[in-house]
Amino acid sequence: QRPLSPLWEEMERMGCCLTRPTDDTIRCTGKLRPGTYTIDGGVSSQYITGLMFALPMINGGTDLIVTGTLESKPYVTMTVHAKGLFGLPGTLSPGTVNVEGDWSNGAFFLAAKALGCELDVHGLNPDSAQGDRAVVEILKQLKAGSPTISAKDIPDLVPVLTVVAAANHGAVFTDIRRLRLKESDRVASTIAMIENLGGRAAADENTLTVFGTGLTGGIVNTCNDHRIAMSAAIAATVCKENVTVLGSECVSKSYPRFWEEYARLGGNYEFNIR
């Protein structure tokens, strides 16, 4: 099994040997060599941005060619901007760098506000290259009606947006194929979350439909997906019954202090060790 495909084959072709001694181990040996690297842009921008950091460190002429349709383009744009701050090949410190607030994590609390919580979110740059700043306009659309939303450039927003959609008028999310390749099959785990909380959702190959049925409460299995855990927590703000989040510790991947912030802003929770 080759868990890093399509990056796996390209790295091996260019001198880096990847093996999998056990199911939870990947071993990397060898050294990348100069040349032309070609990768499909339709699977994940993470493969592209990873190469963007590695290739300038190789001695010799190196080109990166992205084929097909580039998904999550804002993440590539962010990487270009960040690398530009450090010059070429990306090793010269600019001295001081101001790090923007994170729209992806801020989106959870922006969604909570859209659901009626009395809170404000500060420190987010409205002109950021981050694609997830689109959450502001999308939340307005979800409050006003039942929009059709492309997930092409905002795959990380989909779970929490489905919560807002279910609590309002519903929505249709298109371009969802890559959601199946996230920390969980995020199409399946999102549908399970909505349904276990009393809502209704369905999907085909590339479309996820969420119905505006409202949410009542229930048990959500995060499938070790941090965005499912945080979305379930936000859903609890509109549920009449309790919400139980199984595997809630997975938020540590991207937002270790999420539960502390949740409580600070008025959310109530208790941990149960199983």
Instruction: Indicate the DSSP class of residue 44.
Output: -
* Cα pseudo-dihedral 249, 252, 254, 260, rounded to 10: 80
Instruction: Indicate the DSSP class of residue 100.
Output: P
- Other C-beta atoms closer than 10 Å to the C-beta of 264 total 9
Q: Is 211 exposed, middle or buried (0-12, 13-18, 19+ CB in 10 A)?
A: middle
Separation CA 94–CA 91 (nearest Å): 9
Give the H or E element holding residue 201.
Answer: strand 200-203
Instruction: Indicate the DSSP class of residue 247.
Output: T
Residue with tokens 């101001």: 98
Catalytic residue among 132, 156, 175, 225: 156
Separation CA 230–CA 250 (nearest Å): 9
Taking a C-beta distance cutoff of 8 angstroms, is the pair 244, 269 a contact? no
Catalytic-residue membership of 120: no
Q: Is 187 left (phi over 0), alpha (psi -120 to 50) or beta?
A: alpha
Q: Which residues are catalytic?
A: 156
